[in-house]
Amino acid sequence: MFEFSFSELLLIMVVALVVIGPERLPKVARTMGLLWGRAQRYVNGVKADIERDMAIAELREMKAKIQAEAESAQQAVQQLDRNLDEQARKINEAVARPVQEVQQQVQLPLEPVKTDDSATPTSRT
């Protein structure tokens, strides 16, 4: 955030010693240290909040992309299902039509089969 060289820091300490005085300087330094720590914690907290918000935004974008892909996949599966049903219907029609045509053309009467008794082997006793 702020960059101080050693010489600048030394100059600030000398001016503070002259302005504040040697009796109150340790108390002021402690107070300044506490305030500096609070400021750093506040800045770190703000950074963490911003990073968290960015992560949430990225997750929302990812969720939207995944939902779009899932919907696309679902539509593709439904389309495939419709195509398969149509193909199965066509195959059933293609198989059923020749079978019906053959049944209509053949129409053979069913007569009982006659057996010749002379052709059957006789038993020897």
How would residue 1 be classed by pLDDT, with cut points 50, 70 and 90?
low
Residue 27 in any domain: the answer is: yes
The count of structural domains within the chain is 1
Residue 125 in any domain: the answer is: no
Output the pLDDT for position 62. 96
Output the pLDDT for position 116. 63
Residue 119 in any domain: the answer is: no
pTM score, two decimals? Answer: 0.47
How would residue 118 be classed by pLDDT, with cut points 50, 70 and 90?
low
Q: Which two tokens stand for residue 100?
A: 């019906």
| Residue 55 structural domain | 6-89
How would residue 5 be classed by pLDDT, with cut points 50, 70 and 90?
confident
How would residue 82 be classed by pLDDT, with cut points 50, 70 and 90?
very high
Tell me the CA distances in angstroms from 40 to 32, 36, 45, 49, 72, one per residue in order.
12, 6, 8, 14, 48
- Output the average pLDDT for the chain: 84
